[in-house]
Amino acid sequence: MRRPLRHRQVSSHHKKKKKHDLLDALPDDVVVSILSKLTSTASSPCDLINVLSTCKRLNRLGLNRVVLSKAGPKLFAIKAKNWSESAHRFLRNCVNAGNLHASYTLGMIRFYCLENRESGLSLMAKAAMKSHAPALYSLAVIQFNGSGGTKGDKDLRAGVALCARASLLGHIDALRELGHCLQDGYGVRQNVAEGRKLLVQANARELAFVLRAVARSSSSASLLTWRNTLSNHSSSASSVSSAVCPLLSDYGYSVAVPEVQPANWFLREWFESGRGRLGNGLRLCAHIGCGRPETRPHEFRRCSVCGKVNYCSRGCQALDWKLRHKMECSPAEIWPLEEDGGGAVVVGGGGGDGVGNDVDVRNGVV
């Protein structure tokens, strides 16, 4: 008769070793370094939220100033419907940690959504002084339109200077804006040849961005898929950036829909969802990737042909013309002039019949 098998005795030392968490063996500075890398490459706020909810130690280290200062722009892609005092406090903590993306995002939200103009400008200026290109360009748009003030508060020279700084940092929209300013003599001495040169450079950078996106794509079939993000604003910002526009660019290539900045996407969601309310006669910029609202009636200029769309800047007009409006624009039968002309600039090449302060979009893309 065989003896029954005896269960092996497990020592208490072995049990403790089995339950030991290797994370506890890592020094705090190593964990902070790992978390900093995570936040700088995060694709959404959930990446950090999942870490903070893991354990007390990661929650404490995840809110370390070093980690918050390294956070990338996509970590601040907060949905307007989820806006709360907790989200506001998190952005303030990131700003206090020296994060430029947080300064820009919170500045845009305060200036346009919460209508705290002074604080919003201060935060965007804080990021701009540290050479944050989107903040520089946003300040330029505000200067061109006199946003938050009256028509007399426009400062065209300051807008051109801010665009020039942003373009040197590689901001395509700022470079395109600067090219139109030089071409039309808006806020700067007119130089048609130099303006057209800058517009060509902007298109070349846009094309380079598309080619890099194609090279990174694992499947060429995905480039043939077009999701109608223009009519469905409720889709996520990531779906907008991954879509491909069926239109042809100036060089005959398929143009990828530009990635929407989290701050701009928040603005559009905020007003289109009803969370924020536009005053009487105020409109949003017609470009899907902008979301900027007017701060006074007729601040933006509208298309001189159809009179149905309006833009806060040349950059938004040029992108929306290639993306959508070129196929939809048709002359309006009756279009009365507005008393208070807009604060944007005339966009387009020569030969347009733009009236007053309106945007001539038919020849708007060089």
Tell me the pLDDT tens digit for each residue of 257-285. Answer: 557 788 999 999 999 988 888 888 899 99
Q: How many domains does the chain have?
A: 1
pLDDT band at 316 (very low <50, low <70, confident <90, very high): confident
pLDDT at 307: 79
Residue 119 has a pLDDT of: 95
pLDDT of residue 83: 93
This prediction's pTM = 0.77
On whether residue 311 sits in a domain, the answer given is: yes
pLDDT at 221: 42
What is the pLDDT, as a whole number, of residue 213? 66
Confidence of residue 6 (pLDDT cuts 50, 70, 90): low
| Residue 308 domain-assigned (yes or no) | yes
Kindly tell me if the per-residue pLDDT of 352 is higher than 60.
Answer: no
Q: What is the DSSP letter of 344?
A: S
Task: Give the N- to C-terminal CA distance of the chain in Å, as an integer.
Answer: 96
Question: 361 lies in a domain?
Answer: no
Give the CA angle between residues 291, 313, 108 to the nearest 5°: 40
Residue 344 to residue 40: CA distance in whole angstroms: 35
The rounded mean pLDDT for the chain is 78
Higher-confidence position of 347 and 273: 273
What's the mean pLDDT in 321-342? 64
User: Mind giving me the DSSP string for 174-242?
Assistant: HHHHHHHHHHHTSSS---HHHHHHHHHHHHHHHHHHHHHHHHH-S-GGGGG----TTT-TTS-HHHHHH
Provide the strand spans (E) within 12-171: none
Q: What percent of the chain has pLDDT over 90?
A: 42
In sequence order, what are the residues at sequence separation of 6 or more whose Cβ sits closer than 8 angstroms to the Cβ of residue 232? none
Average pLDDT over residues 122-127: 96
> Band of the pLDDT at 251, cuts 50, 70, 90?
very low
- Asked if pLDDT for residue 162 goes beyond 90, the answer is yes
For range 126-130, the mean pLDDT:
95
- pLDDT bracket for residue 334 (50, 70, 90): very low
Higher per-residue pLDDT: 360 or 25: 25
Q: What is the pLDDT of residues 170-228, one digit of tens each?
A: 998 899 999 999 988 989 999 999 999 999 998 888 778 777 766 665 444 444 333 34
- Give residue-wise pLDDT tens across range 63-105: 999 999 999 999 999 899 999 999 999 999 999 999 999 999 9
Q: Which H/E stretch holds residue 48?
A: helix 46-52
Say if 276 falls within a structural domain.
Answer: yes
Structural domain for 314, as ranges: 262-327
274 within domain boundaries:
yes
The residue with tokens 């002074």 is 118
pLDDT the model gives residue 114: 93
Residue 290 inside a domain? The answer is yes
Is 293 within a domain?
yes
Whether 121 has a pLDDT exceeding 80, the answer reads yes
pLDDT band at 145 (very low <50, low <70, confident <90, very high): very high
pLDDT at 238 over 70: no
288 lies in a domain?
yes
The length of the chain, given as a count of residues: 366
